[in-house]
Amino acid sequence: MRLIAEDGELDLAEGFLTADERAVLGARLLGELAWQSEEIALFGRQVAVPRLVCWYGDPGATYRYSGVSHEPLPWHEVLADLRARIEDFSGHVFNAVLCNRYRNGRDSMGWHADDEAELGERPFIASLSLGAERLFRIRHRGTGRTLDVPLRDGDLLLMGGELQSHWRHCVPRTARPCGERINLTFRRIVRWP
């Protein structure tokens, strides 16, 4: 389903994973990935980002996030399988995946665009959600047009074209009781440092 067609493309494939797959893959990813807490420098102080993260990919697919350079961990079996399926489905190839784990409604991701130089022009990013439903909010930088997209267990969101240049997105905190959620953003690093 196409959600945005103006200044970039946003598409949602609801139920990309079957109900059986969601439970098994979600549990394996929670238990087997190298989740870690990440600290960023904010006004001269070290502050933990409100979520757990890890970075997997091809050797050399170094990525800077939260102000820190990360060497990728070698592909975990589950991530490698998902990458292959999402490549088939989307027609795009990926060499790395950023994994985010929102432990509860207080974990979040602030406003940003995935417009880092290493992703090149018009990056194509595939974002797979597992576990608790959370809101993905996206706002046009110029017009302020805002869309709230609920992302549910097994949904695949695809961002392409000029989207990262014209729109910013976030996953806001929520006060409503909320279980754990994993989000995997498959990316292609095209510029090597």
Ligand X SMILES: O=C(O)CCC(=O)C(=O)O
- Interacting residue ranges for ligand X, rule: CB under 6 A: 98, 100, 109, 114, 127, 136, 151, 169, 171, 183, 185
State whether residue 114 is helix, strand or coil: coil
- By the rule CB under 5 A, 11 interacts with Fe ion: no
Q: How many CA atoms lie within 13 A of 124 on its CB side?
A: 9
CB nearer to ligand X: give 44 or 187: 187
CB nearer to Fe ion: give 152 or 168: 168
Q: Which does 98 bind (CB under 5 to 8 A by kind): ligand X, Fe ion, none?
A: ligand X
- Rg over alpha carbons for the chain, rounded to the nearest Å, is 16
CB nearer to Fe ion: give 18 or 66: 66
Give min distance, CB of 174 to ligand X, in A. 13
CB nearer to Fe ion: give 22 or 169: 169
Phi, psi of 5 (to 5 degrees): -130, 10
DSSP secondary structure letters along 53-110: EEEEESTT--EEETTEEEPPBPPPHHHHHHHHHHHHHHS---SEEEEEEE-STT--EE
Which residues, numbered 75-114, are part of the site for Fe ion (CB under 5 A)? 114
One-letter amino acid for residue 52 of the chain: L
